[in-house]
Amino acid sequence: AQTVTQSQPEMSVQEAETVTLSCTYDTSESDYYLFWYKQPPSRQMILVIRQEAYKQQNATENRFSVNFQKAAKSFSLKISDSQLGDAAMYFCAYRRDLGNFGNEKLTFGTGTRLTIIP
């Protein structure tokens, strides 16, 4: 079974600084997706960024970028120019790619709570 590990239960960063959240995963599959979700106090799950395993180029979305190391099974999230609104729980998630043959479930890590210091 696939597992996702987030080893940092809590992180904090000064406003406007950069922070990196770590995620490692275990899989024997070669085709899969990786995700970072943000959960603010409102409880809503918000997709931050997605990475396809077949793509060597790291995904970026504005101030959010990932460092995807397939061989090391590592998928870290970098938040640049941290803002107060970035304060949230962040979840790393994995999903196997079944192509057009169905839909695989998301497996989540345990989350990292990010605090932004004004």
Partner 1 sequence: DAGITQSPRHKVTETGTPVTLRCHQTENHRYMYWYRQDPGHGLRLIHYSYGVKDTDKGEVSDGYSVSRSKTEDFLLTLESATSSQTSVYFCAISEGRGRQDGYTFGSGTRLTVV
- Contact positions vs partner 1 (CB under 8 A): 4, 6, 9, 42-45, 47, 50, 52, 91, 97-103, 105-111
* Least separation in angstroms between CB 78 and partner 1: 21
Token couple for 3: 């597992």
Closest CB to partner 1 among residues 58, 80: 58
* Least separation in angstroms between CB 45 and partner 1: 4
Closest CB to partner 1 among residues 99, 118: 99
- Three-state secondary structure call for residue 34: strand
Residue 11's Cβ-count burial label (10 Å; 0-12, 13-18, 19+) is middle
Closest CB to partner 1 among residues 43, 84: 43
Residues 5, 26: Cα–Cα separation, whole Å: 8
Cβ burial 47-56 (10 Å sphere, 16+ → b, else e) = ebbebebeee
* Least separation in angstroms between CB 91 and partner 1: 6
Residues 39, 48: Cα–Cα separation, whole Å: 10
* Least separation in angstroms between CB 7 and partner 1: 13
